[in-house]
Structure 1
Amino acid sequence: MRRPKYFTPNEVSPHNKLDDLWVSYLGKVYDLTALMNEFKGNVLLKPIIECAGKDISHWFDPKTRDILTHVDPLSGCVKYYTPRGRFVHVPPPCPRTDWANDFGRPWWKDTQYEVGVLSVKTRWIRIINTLTSQEQGLEVCSEETLNEILQRYLRYNSHATSYTWKHNRVTLDMGKTLEENGIPDEDEVFSGGHMDRDLFSQSICLYFNDDLTEL
């Protein structure tokens, strides 16, 4: 089975425009650009637009994965709780003849918008190219394998697949995560000790496969 694509919150946040709008909720990342186009100009988009690029998990009940509800003090009926204002696919507070409810699944339950998984915990690593002595700090998802981290690093070194990846001189298993490769996550230690993450984060050394000095 194909692994899901993981995203950091910092990767979601730039998608905060009408023509490129992402949100995350309940551990998943969603591209709602098509929804923006479908309802372009509709005032019911406003609460979503205000939270573009952000996590909106607090809008939902994690058990039902539906919008939070409350008992309306005036009617005594259970209704959706939308303190930022009613949004697309949320029914009006009172029955109306001009509201169509034949849209099928509401957008928050429609998997067509899903693009990946929001990382539960991100971490920083340093990748050191031993051939060129170049270093690159990289924020990665703790759930990613080294092969997936390599894909992130390709933007800085298009030949990254031609290197052997090592930590403390031990060749890493590219099909496993950092933790599974025995590389501990020390971000909280650095934060608590006011240490410079860029200087003390775990490092991975890349050795060019055709480098004769490795023999």
Structure 2
Amino acid sequence: MKVINCIIVEDEQYAINILSDFISKVPFINLEQTFTNPIDALLYLKSNSIDLIFLDINMPELSGIDLIKLLPKNIEIVITSGYSEFAVAGFENNVLDYLLKPYSFDRFLQAAQKALDKLLLLDTHKPTPVNDHSDSFYLKTDHGKIVRINFNDIIYIEGLKNYCSVFTEHERHISLVSMKTLADNLPQQDFARTHKSYIIALKRIKSIDGNMVMFDKIKEKIPIGVTYRESFFAQLNNKMFK
């Protein structure tokens, strides 16, 4: 059985108690931690992997919407709020569901089932390496077709909301898979993250001009984001004659 590991970020203890009780009644959800301070939750997530966050919106120091923008994109979010006016902002940030307080156990269970369905779907689209020393992997595309992709054929990967596009010289493969999942399955010495939305194949780089990467065989240029610039050039320096 699929088990969803979750945390609660909520500044009111009574709301945490209610939600914790609901979670305890659902066999496929495991509550890892609760937080009354969103900053503490961010620090926890730096060294711990979870699938789902039950998140309040109206909190001191950092609002739930601001916290969402700082979270890894592969974490599902269910907002729990007493204010309906935040619903639009929540769904604009791709939250999975919005529980308006006070919510019943039945309504909570609907959100929990939605999370389970989403995560099971993502699991079916994860790339499967042939073996640890393979030169390729299998990827389930958005049309349900399974394709084998050679690492050497990849030029770059683009992440777009809930799916990724893998670009080779002649093809584009679209899959409902996260950037993190793809990054974890790529040979670390051959690929680099240059931007929150891009992973590139180092061996396909033709040139770098300022903050743009050019490739052989294709005309597309990929940006180098400020967040990834230092780590990207550090990785590139290992392959550079000076």
- Select the structure with the greater relative contact order (CA < 8 A; seq sep ≥ 6): 1
* Short-chain TM bin: under 0.3
- TM-score, normalized by length of structure 1? 0.25
Greater percentage in helix: 2
Structure with higher Rg: it is 1
